[in-house]
Amino acid sequence: MVTKIAVIQTPPVMLQRDATIAGMLETIDEAASAGAILLVFPEAYIPGYPTWIWRLKPGGDMALSSELHARLRENAVDLSAGHLDALQEAAARLSITLVVGINEIDSRYSGTTLFNSVVVIGPDGTLLNRHRKLMPTNPERMVWGMGDGSGLRVVDTPAGRVGSLICWECYMPLARHALYSQAMEIFINPTWDSSDTCLATLRHIAKEGGCWVIGTATAIQGSDIPDTFPERDALYTPEEWINVGNAVVIAPSGDITAGPMNREKGILYADIDIETALRSRRSLDVAGHYGRPDIFSLTVNRAPQAPAVFTDS
SS3 state of residue 46: strand
Specify burial of residue 75 (Cβ count, 10 A radius: 0-12, 13-18, 19+): buried
The CB-side HSE value for 215 (13 A sphere, CA atoms) comes to 36
DSSP 271-293: EEEHHHHHHHTTT--TTTTT--T
Nearest to 10 by CA among 31, 27, 22: 27
**Bridge partners of residue 99, in order along the sequence:** 40, 120
Helices within the chain (DSSP H only): 17-33, 62-74, 85-94, 173-180, 196-209, 232-235, 274-280
Residue 11 · residue 240 · CB < 8 Å: no
Strands (E) located in 55-157? 97-105, 114-121, 127-132, 155-157
Specify burial of residue 238 (Cβ count, 10 A radius: 0-12, 13-18, 19+): exposed
Q: Measured between alpha carbons, how far is 245 from 263 in angstroms, rounded to an integer?
A: 6
For the chain, how far is it from start to end, CA to CA, in angstroms? 54
Q: Which sequence positions are flagged as catalytic? A: 43, 133, 167
| 220, containing H or E segment | strand 220-221
